[in-house]
């Protein structure tokens, strides 16, 4: 397996500032989304004629070093020469990410003693704690010596029955969008009637969800 990442040095004091690992969710979302649309130092500007980069004045890199790791293998530029590796699970993903971290700190020992944090969003509500547990286990049995200080999860998914995972999450998303007045009251009522708890959306429900996306337009709901 070849795990791909981008590492951004802190603009303040990279030798002493914390190292943050960032994981986007999915499963299947590239962590470069975090770099290019969230807390990375550069964002994309698409004018329709060309795509350019511009500096993100709110980047976390003003205070910390950030590692954007694409995980699991098969996401983004991370890959494996064995097709069977693309069939994975949460435990295997935690192991792969742990091994990637061990190799990173071996290759860049100057960051080994910096405070280390694991952060992410969405399905990283699973990725982050399982990886943290793997790091603690590795530290305990001598496989690693990572200076883990804490974890951070935003918009976290912790399972498919509750929270923001699975179909139920679509219902929470609809409620948020409707609550902010981004869709009409009539469409919101139609969605409630057709979709129920959103766990098993019918063709009518899916059609209305497409209509919801069209009404919302080009708005990043995570902004």
Whether pLDDT at 104 is above 80: yes
Per-residue pLDDT band at 155 (split at 50, 70, 90): confident
Whether pLDDT at 6 is above 60: yes
Per-residue pLDDT tens digits for 68-92: 999 999 999 999 999 999 888 999 9
> Residue 209: which domain range?
166-216
Average pLDDT over residues 146-157: 93
On whether both 181 and 117 belong to a single domain, the answer is no
Concatenated DSSP letters of 19-65: EEEEE--TTT--THHIIIIISSSEEEEE-SS-EEEEE-TT-GGGTSE
Ranking 1-10, 20-29, 115-124 by mean pLDDT, the lowest is 20-29
Residue 207 lies in a domain: yes
Whether pLDDT at 218 is above 80: no
On whether both 133 and 212 belong to a single domain, the answer is no
On whether both 178 and 73 belong to a single domain, the answer is no
> What pLDDT was estimated at residue 162?
53
On whether both 96 and 196 belong to a single domain, the answer is no
Whether pLDDT at 221 is above 80: no
On whether both 103 and 178 belong to a single domain, the answer is no
On whether both 70 and 123 belong to a single domain, the answer is yes
Alpha helices in the chain (DSSP H): 32-33, 90-107, 124-140, 166-179, 185-195, 203-216
On whether both 139 and 82 belong to a single domain, the answer is yes
Whether pLDDT at 198 is above 70: yes
CA 117 → CA 23, 35, 56, distances in Å?
Answer: 11, 17, 22
Q: Is 78 within 8 Å of 72 (Cβ atoms)?
A: yes
d(CA 144, CA 152): 21
The per-residue pLDDT of the chain, averaged, comes to 91
pTM of the model: 0.77
Whether pLDDT at 160 is above 70: no
On whether both 52 and 146 belong to a single domain, the answer is yes
On whether both 34 and 116 belong to a single domain, the answer is yes
On whether both 12 and 87 belong to a single domain, the answer is yes
For residue 77, what is the domain's CATH number? Answer: 3.40.50.1820
> What pLDDT was estimated at residue 46?
82
């Amino acid at each position: 397996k070849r795990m791909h990442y981008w590492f951004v040095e802190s603009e303040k004091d990279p030798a002493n500032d914390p190292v943050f690992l960032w994981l986007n969710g999915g499963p299947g979302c590239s962590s470069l989304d975090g770099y290019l649309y969230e807390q990375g130092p550069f964002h994309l500007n698409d004018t329709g004629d060309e795509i350019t980069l511009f500096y993100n004045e709110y980047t976390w890199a003003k205070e910390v070093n950030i590692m954007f790791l694409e995980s699991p293998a098969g996401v983004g530029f991370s890959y494996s020469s064995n097709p069977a590796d693309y069939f994975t699970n949460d435990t295997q993903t935690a192991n792969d990410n742990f091994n990637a971290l061990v190799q990173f700190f071996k290759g860049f020992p100057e960051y080994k003693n910096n405070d280390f944090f694991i952060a992410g969003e969405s399905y990283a509500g699973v990725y982050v704690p399982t990886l943290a547990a793997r790091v603690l286990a590795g530290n305990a049995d001598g496989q690693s010596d990572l200076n883990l200080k804490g974890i951070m999860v935003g918009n976290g998914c912790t399972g498919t029955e509750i929270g923001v995972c699975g179909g139920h999450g679509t219902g929470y998303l609809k409620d948020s969008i409707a609550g902010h007045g981004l869709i009409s009251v009539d469409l919101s009522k139609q969605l409630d009637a057709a979709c129920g708890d959103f766990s098993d959306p019918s063709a009518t429900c899916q059609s209305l969800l497409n209509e919801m996306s069209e009404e919302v337009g080009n708005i990043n709901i995570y902004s």
